[in-house]
Structure formats: C-alpha cells, structure tokens
Amino acid sequence: MPLSIRELFAAADLNPAGVVKWGDLTIPNVPGVYCVSWSANAEATHVNRDVYIPSASAYTELLSICPRISVDGALATPSKLADRIGRFWIPNEPVLYIGMAGTSIRARVGQYYSTKLGARAPHAGGWWLRTLESLDQLYVHFATCDDASTREQSMLAAFAASVDPGHRSQLFDAERVAPFANIDVGRGLHKHHGLTNYKIPAQSTKVVNATELFDNSLAELRVHSQPVTDKDRMRSYLRIPAESKHAFPDVTALLQVVLDGVRVDVTWHPNNSRSGTLGVGTAYMRGLRERNERLQINASKGIYTILRK
C-alpha cells in the first residue's frame, strides 16, 4: 500500500515541517529533505492519477534542444519518449519525487523550479517531472535535518518497499523502483530506461565566470530585460534585448543568477540575432505583476542579480 508523506518522512525519523505550492520558495534556508506530491495533505495515500498525462509541448520542446535523443538506440519521437517515460508511472501514487538538500532546501527546490528540459544543471536529476501537464497542481513537502543524504536514502527505500506488486510488475524497470521522477534510485543506481542524449552536450554548456564575460576593470554592468508582457508571464524565461546581450556570453551557458535573494544556476541562450533568454522558471515569471516592466539586471563578478521595482 502506498505510504503517506508523513510515513515517508517517518521512515527517516522525521516529521514534515511544512508544505508549499510548486513555484513557491517560502521554504527554510537550511539542510533537509523534500517530497513533490499531487496532494497538500501529508496523510494522503491515494490520488486520482491513474495514468501518465504528459504536456502537449514538453517532448517537442526537448527534441528541439536535444535532437539526437534515442530510445533503445533509435532516434526518438515525442510519442516514443512519452511511451517510454510513461512506463515508469505508478498509478494513483501521491509522491512524484523525493529529494535532499545538503545546504539549503530553499535553494535546491528553487533550482528544481528553474531547470529547463535538456539542461544539465542545476537540478537535472528529476527532469521527468517537467514533462507533466499540470505542474501548477503540485506541492512540495519538506523537513529540516542534518545528514540529508542518508535520510533521503531511507525515504527512497521505504517508498520502493511500499509499491504494490501489481503496479511494480508493470514498470519498465521493475527492479530499480522509486517515485516517478527519481531517475536515480540510490547512490550510483539509475533506473534502466533506455534513453540517451537527453541533455545538452557538455561542451556547449558551462558555468561562466566574470573573466569570461567582460574586462575585470569593469566592476559592474547594468542592463535591462525586454518589457515583460502578459504572454511573457506564462513562459519560463526572461527575454534579454539585443542592446543588453553584451553583458552575457555569446554561447549557451549556465549562469549564476540571484532571484529574490536566492542564487541559482539558470540556462542562458543567446539565440543569434533574436532576444536572448534566461530560463528563470515559470514561478518567477508568473510573480511579475507590473505590466510591461523592464527588469534591471546587474552583472558583477560573474553573478547576475535581477531587480524588481
């Protein structure tokens, strides 16, 4: 029988300390563990989610970024990808992901929110979650603790032991069992899924420091985003106009960006002659309420700080 979130935390000698909606960062800035769930109720053992419902655009978007994705060695199509990942769906299970944060739950969950499909970092391990149609219906439960890695392993083991044998037998990999979005099921163990080339090649994505961006004699660069429209607020990225792109790398890169006081790594795409894009995540973009606001961005020593009015 599926375990409730409270029972999963109890398997690690913890009690849930709070819950927020997906996209909310009202979370402690301390080490701990967390669960992503369909339910805000820590006692729930069942939700009405019997089948995998992927986003209509997620796989098309992913293949546009990583066109060499393969399934069992053959080039993938959106339907083949959805079929394979759907084989890891556990019907009516409340918990979709179990994670840990060695330094800050807030920062780690913020990285999860902001990591785009195809990105290698900062939180790519649970990327199957981002293929779902209804991310805005999810909740994040958390507990603060030391030794977060060991606690996470206890929770993953308890989850695997609780999965109904009938459901387990239908999984593509019935041996390495974990919540749907946990591709890593333990230290050094990964689900056998048959997928390859589903991340941007390592040579085209890097963490950029200040010396690679501009002359060290320049203490700070101040630029602006494009005006944020109603349409922009429904996207996961902030548009950067041509006149501001001199403050950014001329290649796809991972940049350290401060969003509402929390530093996260986000993906930057220069997009040739078009506006560049910073993948700050849907939660941040939807929080921008002033119509046609241009956000100030300060670039200093390799750190990008986005300022709201």
State whether 242 and 118 are in the same domain. Answer: no
Cβ(47)–Cβ(38) under 8 Å?
yes
Q: Inform me whether the pLDDT recorded for 88 exceeds 90.
A: yes
d(CA 207, CA 176): 32
Q: In CATH, what number is assigned to the domain containing residue 274?
A: 2.40.330.10
State whether 129 and 189 are in the same domain. Answer: yes
| High-pLDDT (> 90) share of the chain, % | 59
State whether 235 and 210 are in the same domain. Answer: yes
State whether 105 and 30 are in the same domain. Answer: yes
Task: Classify 84 as helix, strand or coil.
Answer: helix
State whether 69 and 171 are in the same domain. Answer: yes
Q: Where are the beta strands (DSSP E) in the chain?
A: 18-21, 32-37, 70-71, 74-75, 95-101, 139-144, 184-186, 189-190, 195-196, 221-224, 238-240, 253-259, 262-269, 276-278, 296-300, 303-307
Least Cα distance to 179 among 226, 132, 136 occurs for 132
| Cβ neighbour number for residue 216 with a 10 Å cutoff | 9
Range scoring the smallest mean pLDDT among 15-19, 34-38, 118-122, 197-201: 118-122
Please compute Rg for the chain using Cα positions.
20
Residue 215: what pLDDT? 43
d(CA 187, CA 190): 9
Task: Judge residue 64's burial from the number of C-beta atoms within 10 Å of its C-beta, 0-12 exposed, 13-18 middle, 19 or more buried.
Answer: exposed
Tell me the pairing of strands 253-259 and 303-307. parallel
Average pLDDT of the chain is: 89
Final residue belonging to a domain, choices 171, 196, 221: 196
Q: Where are the beta strands (DSSP E) in 219-289?
A: 221-224, 238-240, 253-259, 262-269, 276-278
d(CA 15, CA 63): 40
Q: Inform me whether the pLDDT recorded for 216 exceeds 50.
A: no
pTM: 0.69
Final residue belonging to a domain, choices 156, 171, 196: 196
Residue 265's domain comprises 206-307
State whether 174 and 257 are in the same domain. Answer: no
Residue 214: what pLDDT? 46
Question: Residue 12: what residue type?
Answer: A
Q: Which H or E run contains 85?
A: helix 78-86
Cβ(40)–Cβ(19) under 8 Å?
yes
d(CA 294, CA 274): 17
Residue 260: what pLDDT? 86
Highest mean pLDDT among 78-92, 105-119, 183-197, 208-222: 78-92
Q: What angle do CA 71, 75, 81 make, to 5 degrees?
A: 45
Least Cα distance to 279 among 102, 130, 137, 139 occurs for 130
State whether 177 and 256 are in the same domain. Answer: no
State whether 129 and 160 are in the same domain. Answer: yes
Q: Where are the beta strands (DSSP E) in 22-66?
A: 32-37
Q: How many domains does the chain have?
A: 2
Least Cα distance to 121 among 247, 225, 257 occurs for 257
Question: Residue 15: what residue type?
Answer: N
- For residue 272, which phi and psi values (nearest 5 degrees)? 55, -120
State whether 192 and 213 are in the same domain. Answer: no
Task: Judge residue 68's burial from the number of C-beta atoms within 10 Å of its C-beta, 0-12 exposed, 13-18 middle, 19 or more buried.
Answer: exposed
Cβ(194)–Cβ(84) under 8 Å?
yes
26 found inside a domain:
yes
State whether 43 and 99 are in the same domain. Answer: yes
174-210 pLDDT, tens per residue?
A: 999 999 999 988 777 899 999 999 988 765 555 554 4
128-166 pLDDT, tens per residue?
A: 999 998 899 999 999 999 999 999 999 999 999 999 999
State whether 176 and 294 are in the same domain. Answer: no
Residue 145: what pLDDT? 96
State whether 44 and 185 are in the same domain. Answer: yes
Residue 208: what pLDDT? 53
Final residue belonging to a domain, choices 196, 228, 253: 196
Residue 14, token pair as written in the block? 């913890």
84 found inside a domain:
yes
201 found inside a domain:
no
Report the pLDDT averaged over residues 211-219: 45
302 found inside a domain:
yes
d(CA 93, CA 232): 33
Question: Residue 32: what residue type?
Answer: G
